Amino acid sequence: MDRERAAQMRPEDGKMNTRGRRGFLKGSAAAMAALWAHNSGVLSALAEPETKPRPNIVLILSDDVGYGDLGCYGARLPRTPHIDGLAQKGRRFTDAHSDSSVCTPSRYAILSGMYAWRRRDAQILPGDAALLFADRQVTLPRLLQQAGYATGCVGKWHLGLGRGAIDWNGEIEPGPREVGFDESFILPATADRVPCVYVENGRVVGLDPKDPIHVSYKKLVGDDPTGSDAPYLLKMKLSEGHDGTIVDGVSRIGFMSGGKKARWVDEEMAATLAGKATAFIDKHHAQPFFLYLATSDIHVPRMPNGKFADHSRCGVRCDVIEQLDWTVGQVLDTLERHKLMENTLVLFTSDNGPVVDDGYADGSVENLNGHTPSGKLRGGKYSLYEGGTRVPFIAYWKGQIPAGVSSAVLSQTDMLATLAAVAGVDVPHATDFDSQNLRAVLMGVSEQGRTTLVEADAVQRTAIREGRWKLLDLTRPGSATQGKRELYDLEADPGETRDVAAENPAVAERLMALLNRIRARNN
């Protein structure tokens, strides 16, 4: 009551003050109680700024990091002290999910607050695809931007750019800016896709106009060697695909020519992105800011800096996990230096589950040394099993989120509504979104996560979670033939080893009907 009374008496709010004074003048407990009851909603809303400071938000989205890849999730070999420290001081979630087991849809869901499988076009995109977002679409960064946050996007984008037929030599729009980011420094798609250049605020960085860039995903452009015709030039051999243009000794998906001086150096990418992220914090430390840092680590090609190469105990894949941990450390050090920890919500997660051989013969398979990227879960990247979408998820806000472990179910799709609530921003037509406001769960005051959750795989097949049960519908969208359905009891069998659909037909039917209802919701 003392805190509320203090809020009620704040001099800067005349309306509150009048009410407060009247209450105190009457002096009766009953009158006060009635007043509080009558005005409780208004009073608590107005008290909000004092009791709940509007924090900065740093969302670190790593790439292809599995449920079992970090020390705090049970990994023994890769050393991840910064991420583990975050988990130890903050809240570690054991049943948090990406929207999809592949990255484009997963990222779309975070920024849009919508299940990406509702859109057939929200699948793994080529590097010259059009932007997935519509003009003026409500997005997480736009909501925060409108609330006065400085918004920045650093790292992997992979959500399309332009409206088709991008001219890489001019202004590249629409892009992150039109989605709600004031500033951006991005890889257009992925590190294994052309064009292998950074784009800063809509322009290719370091482009020489005399050496224009051309990109195609359909036919060879220019005369750069490719992985298929000049494999002897590769510093990393292929295991599958990735036989397009060779850039920096690594052949990629797709073809590009030109932009020689603008091409990135893989081994410097982690430091480049960390530098851009920390510069954004330096620039905006005095105002509320939202930083979306989407690391390229630990996606292929795994090309660690010399500081990390051959440094881990489980091959190059673990080298880049340790490099990722260094990046997290850089961000945390910068926040510390500006004394922002008490006023910053730091989130760390991954866009989908792990993969060991993802097209390059980089020794990851041979050197695992017993490391299990999915932990005890079945499947990984691309998969509909838990290893595909159950990902590390850590929330740290010094002094605000109690340290601990939560088994509440949450989805990255919930970030839009949840972070809007953290920032005190209204989501217009909030019920139109798949995103749920799980602020209380994130803040550690509730264990009531989602009651239902839909997971999706690389070809947009979907599964539904409800409590202990998970039903997988293995029918491919658009396919005329119905696929198999599998049911797992995740409480008894978290590794999804035994399909119990035949033993629990009523549960399977009920969940199938529920999944169909959620799919049919016309968002």
Q: What is the DSSP letter of 476?
A: P
Q: Cβ distance 408 to 395 under 8 Å?
A: no
Q: Cβ closer to Ca ion: 64 or 322?
A: 64
319 binding Ca ion? (CB under 5 A): no
What gap in Å lies between CA 297 and CA 327, rounded to an integer? Answer: 9
352 binding Ca ion? (CB under 5 A): yes
> Minimum distance between the CB of residue 352 and Ca ion, rounded to whole angstroms?
5
3 state SS for 92-151 = EEEEEECCECCHHHHHHHHHHCCCHHHCCCCCCCCCCCCCCCCCCCCCHHHHHHHCCCEE
Q: Cβ closer to Ca ion: 352 or 462?
A: 352
Q: Cβ closer to Ca ion: 64 or 178?
A: 64
- Contacts with Ca ion by CB under 5 A: the residue count is 5
What gap in Å lies between CA 436 and CA 91, rounded to an integer? Answer: 19
> Minimum distance between the CB of residue 160 and Ca ion, rounded to whole angstroms?
16
Longest dimension (CA), the chain: 89
- According to DSSP, the residues that pair with 348 across neighbouring strands are 60, 394
> Minimum distance between the CB of residue 441 and Ca ion, rounded to whole angstroms?
24
| Exposed/middle/buried for residue 475 (C-beta within 10 Å: 0-12, 13-18, 19+) | middle
> Minimum distance between the CB of residue 254 and Ca ion, rounded to whole angstroms?
17
Determine the residue with CB nearest Ca ion: 103
> Minimum distance between the CB of residue 381 and Ca ion, rounded to whole angstroms?
7
Contact flags string 95-134 toward Ca ion, x per CB under 5 A: --------x-------------------------------
3 state SS for 383-452 = CCCHHHHECCEEEECCCCCCCEEEEEEEEHHHHHHHHHHHCCCCCCCHHHCCCCCCHHHHCCCCCCCCCE
Q: Cβ closer to Ca ion: 64 or 319?
A: 64
Q: Cβ closer to Ca ion: 145 or 364?
A: 364
Q: Specify the stretch interacting with Ca ion by CB under 5 A; choose among 59-67, 232-240, 482-490, 504-512.
A: 59-67
> Minimum distance between the CB of residue 355 and Ca ion, rounded to whole angstroms?
8
Q: Specify the stretch interacting with Ca ion by CB under 5 A; choose among 61-69, 286-294, 360-368, 482-490.
A: 61-69
Chain mean position to CA 425: 20
351 binding Ca ion? (CB under 5 A): yes
> Minimum distance between the CB of residue 325 and Ca ion, rounded to whole angstroms?
17
Q: Specify the stretch interacting with Ca ion by CB under 5 A; choose among 236-244, 346-354, 492-500, 511-519.
A: 346-354
What gap in Å lies between CA 66 and CA 63, rounded to an integer? Answer: 9
Contacts of Ca ion in 63-82 (CB under 5 A): 63-64
**Residue ranges binding Ca ion (CB under 5 A):** 63-64, 103, 351-352
